[in-house]
Structure 1
Amino acid sequence: MRRAAAGVVLGLSVAVGAPVAWQVTEEPVAAGASVERALSAPVPPSVPSGEGPAVAPASTLPPVTVRDAAPAATAPAPVPVRLAVPALGIEAPVDPVGVRGDGQMALPDDVDRVGWYRFGPAPGTAGSTVLAGHVDDRDQGLGVLAPLRDAAVGDRIEVIDAAGAATGWRVVSRDVIEKRALPLDQLFGRAGPPRLVLLTCGGPFLPDLGAYRDNVVVVAEPLP
């Protein structure tokens, strides 16, 4: 069943009881543009009130071309199968995932694997491609995405798809945001320029909830 992006809740934690002690030092400050700004599509210039675009005289307009109005069939974009962030030592297989019964984004149980939100865009297509994974697990230890908290603006990210093609990305934003304050509509947006969003847990661990309070959010744009 296709779920609306706004309905996705990012729990992103399987830690129960005491978490792995990866939050020993203070959480790093944000880097680069704010997440909201990094994910905002550029707005086209508006036409001043009372003015419209110039129209050529009818005699100079080219002849109208008639074509079939039916949309052309397009092949679906290959799904991502591997993620690499060399500067952070991240290299992990990627699995397509959906939404759990409780409304949270489903993630691979293995903390060394990353989930791609399969109801959203594939890498390189319009909108936000979302890849997420567990930060840690009491039994398995640190997750492959734990180093995201140290991502720096300019870090290169590479995503390999099922066809073997690679897309390159550059980090433009890193932030730690309370889960209840996440801009979900933008994080899971399906319009605008291509963006890559990487997510894992961060901030303090809340024993009463058995989960971390925040999410580490990294946003990247395509390399030229």
Structure 2
Amino acid sequence: MAGPIPGTSRLLRTGMGAAALGLLLIYNSVDTLPADGSVPGPAAPPAAATATTAPGDADPAAPAPAAPVKAAPPLKRSRPVRLRIPQINVDAPVGELTLNPSGQLNAPPPDDKNLVGWYRDGVTPGERGAAVVAGHVDTTKGPAVFLLLSLMLPGSKVEVQRADGTVAVFTVDAVETFAKDAFPDQRVYGRTPDAQLRLITCGGAYDKKRKDYLDNVVVFAHLESSRPA
């Protein structure tokens, strides 16, 4: 697990959707971000990116991952408003990640330590597919919301409160670390037969020259149940 690096802020760097369109969330030093706060995103126009390559809707020719055991039926679409992870004391509001006119993905605000971001044109947590939520590991203000994400264990619970008044409860299946230059887009963002969740942040060693962490931590989870908020 990487600790906070004073004076810097990272944004998640990993493939978002099919590799062909290269939809990326990139965690970099805050002092290297463009003035508008955006980060490099999809090579294709936003319309193309949201049509077939949003997280959870990858190439139909790709093999679908095996369904987790005891997966609950998918829920209807409803945006997430809050994320809770009791094991690592996370209780954070959920913001929306969007694309700017240049086709770049706007990052979560780097000055908010307790905020996670969800790509609003992708699958919502609880819907069929792989919903994606990203958060900082640290910021210029110190440790951030996903600092302890790599310490999560299989069987841990993740609760996502949704705008429709339901709470989607996910069970963690695995926690893995991938090098950013070898990120398995298809495995993380590929189409799934049920409702799944991906929590992503930076991890591994910090490269001072690149002003970036070398790895991404990914939590894989499946929908176990739902209840009223």
Give 1:87 shift. 1.0
SS in 2 for 1:149: helix
Give 1:160 shift. 0.2
**Structure-to-structure mapping, 1:1-224, within 5 angstroms:** 5-6=17-18, 7-14=22-29, 40-42=65-67, 77-99=77-99, 103=104, 106-109=107-110, 110-137=112-139, 139-224=140-225
Identity %: 34
RMSD between aligned alpha carbons?
2.4
SS in 2 for 1:209: coil
Query: What TM-score do the two structures reach when normalised by structure 2?
Result: 0.66
Higher Rg of the two aligned structures: 1
1:142 and 1:15 mapped to 2: Cα distance? 15
SS in 1 for 2:24: coil
Give 1:125 shift. 1.1
Which ranges in structure 1 are unaligned for 5 or more consecutive residues?
Answer: 18-38, 43-75
Give 1:144 shift. 0.6
User: Which one has a larger percent strand, Structure 1 or Structure 2?
Assistant: 2
Query: What TM-score do the two structures reach when normalised by structure 1?
Result: 0.67
Deviates more, 1:92-101 or 1:104-113: 104-113
CA contact (8 A) 2:97 2:105 kept: no
1:173-199 deviations in whole A, cap 9, x for unaligned? Answer: 001111121122332234421110000
1:12 and 1:41 mapped to 2: Cα distance? 30
Give 1:12 shift. 2.6
Which ranges in structure 2 are unaligned for 5 or more consecutive residues?
Answer: 1-15, 33-63, 68-75
Distance 1:179 1:159, change over 3 A: same
1:221 and 1:163 mapped to 2: Cα distance? 20
1:14 and 1:187 mapped to 2: Cα distance? 24
Aligned pairs, number:
167
